[in-house]
Amino acid sequence: MNRWLFWWRTLARQLWVRASLYAVTGAAAALIGVLAAPWVPKEVAERLGGESVSSILTILASSLLGVATFSVGAMVTAYTAVSQAATPRASALVTSDAEVQKALATFVGAFLYAIVAVTAINANYYGQEGRAILFLFSLGVVCLVAFRLLAWINRLSSLARVGHVIDLAEIQARAALKERRKSPWLGGRQGHIDARFMILAEETGYVQNVDPARLQSEAEGQDCQVEILAAPGAYVRAGDAIAAISNLECDTKGRDRFRTAFAIGGHRSFDQDPRFGLIVLGEIAARALSPGVNDPGTAIQVLAAAVRTLDEWAALSNEAPQEVRHSRLWGAGVEEDDLVTDVFGPIARYGAGDVAVATRLQKMLAKLARDGGPLGVAARRQADQALERARLALVLPDDIRVVEQANTWH
């Protein structure tokens, strides 16, 4: 992904960004409405330009502050509940939810609009025509707030549900897997180059994004080949090699330009990391199977989401991969073994002693293995490992027999 686009997406997920934009828009709307005053008919100004607009704005200003405060408190409560019931990695899906951000930003923006408008009225900023424009603006704000309030109430009913978090994690995982399936090697070629020089990381953390277009541009400028050694999701320490180039004469400035194509941060990102969404799904299931929670139904729900996600990956693998867009870029693809282990591994470990979970795990893996291919081989290997774990964890022979029968190729 282009590094500027990645930067903008990361910034746009911050709650304060959308709230600030709505607040600035609301304040601007309250002040520039007077510019349309010359075009207001006299009859409209006499009818709408009275003191009623002050009452509307006062009600908005006094009520929206409480609504905004309550909404932030509800979001924090949902954030905490998701962290405890699902996994802390999934809590970011709550704060970055578009509906949540729109609701909170609307309340803050409308509140600031009302405050600025009331202040301007008391300062005699508006004439009768200006108050008529402000009256129409205020009606629009009331309608927008009412719509967002209803949408926010509807969102609150599902915001902290584990099932809703599973759906959000599945959406993120499917989007990342679909994008990687279209560009298996980030738009480059599969393989290795004759490395002459290494590009080293300057900080420690996870690779959150790689800009292949930037690498291609620099490779063309320096007439060399580039191999990505640290794909999105990899954890690197300062001094670790993140890329290799075939140009032995690369200077310091050239190395810095290559390095700018890599974004490294303290946590993994859903955008370009196809495994992270599956890891989060696996963590949700692992938390549900812990003795303190003991919720096998959630683990079974995760199994269904995982099969849907990987089934789409398998379907896309039958299509022709996207053409090579970056001819000087080389890299490694995503291994199906890693994808299967990320999401099914925790369930196999922590659900081995639950006959219902162990049986459903075997059935789901059998569905993935039905069509063969690399994903099918990985699913069969995971199923055999899960069967061995179940044999060790289960006590009753009848329970073991049920799990063995679910392992259709045993």
Q: What is the CATH number of the domain that holds 260?
A: 3.90.1170.30
pLDDT reported for residue 131: 76
Q: What is the 3-state secondary structure (H, E, C) of 331-371?
A: ECCCCHHHHHHHHHHHHHHHCCCCHHHHHHHHHHHHHHHCC
Query: How many domains is the chain built from?
Result: 3
- Indicate whether 194 and 313 sit together in one domain: no
In a domain, 235, yes or no: yes
Q: Virtual CA dihedral for 50, 51, 52, 54, nearest 10 degrees?
A: 130
- Indicate whether 279 and 244 sit together in one domain: no
In a domain, 328, yes or no: no
In a domain, 354, yes or no: yes
Strand blocks (E) in 165-219: 189-190, 197-200, 205-210
> CA 286: distance to chain centroid?
20
In a domain, 359, yes or no: yes
| Cα separation, 199 vs 326, whole angstroms | 19
What is the three-class DSSP state of 397? Answer: helix
- Indicate whether 205 and 295 sit together in one domain: no
Q: At what angle do helices 15-32 and 98-122 cross, to 10 degrees?
A: 30
Domain's final residue, options 265, 294, 315: 265
Domain that includes residue 68, residue range: 10-160
DSSP letters, 116-169, are: HHHHHHHTT---HHHHHHHHHHHHHHHHHHHHHHHHHHHHHHHHT-HHHHHHHH
- Indicate whether 315 and 233 sit together in one domain: no
pLDDT reported for residue 43: 66
pLDDT reported for residue 152: 84
- Indicate whether 308 and 203 sit together in one domain: no
- Indicate whether 16 and 151 sit together in one domain: yes
pTM: 0.83
In a domain, 3, yes or no: no
CB count, 10 Å around CB of 267?
A: 11
pLDDT reported for residue 337: 92
- Indicate whether 46 and 114 sit together in one domain: yes
- Indicate whether 145 and 222 sit together in one domain: no
- Indicate whether 69 and 23 sit together in one domain: yes
- Indicate whether 250 and 312 sit together in one domain: no
CA distances from 163 to 92, 300, 340 (A): 15, 11, 21
pLDDT reported for residue 235: 93
- Comparing CA positions, the residue from 139, 130, 136, 127 lying closest to residue 59 is 139
pLDDT reported for residue 386: 93
In a domain, 123, yes or no: yes
Q: Are 130 and 33 in contact (CB under 8 A)?
A: yes
- Indicate whether 75 and 212 sit together in one domain: no
What is the torsional sign of CA 253, 257, 258, 262? positive
List, for the chain, all residue ranges whose pLDDT scores fall below the cut of 50: 410
- Indicate whether 78 and 113 sit together in one domain: yes
Give me 91's structure tokens. Answer: 């809590």
Instruction: Give residue for tokens 């207001």.
Output: 40
Q: Are 254 and 198 in contact (CB under 8 A)?
A: no
In a domain, 349, yes or no: yes
In a domain, 253, yes or no: yes
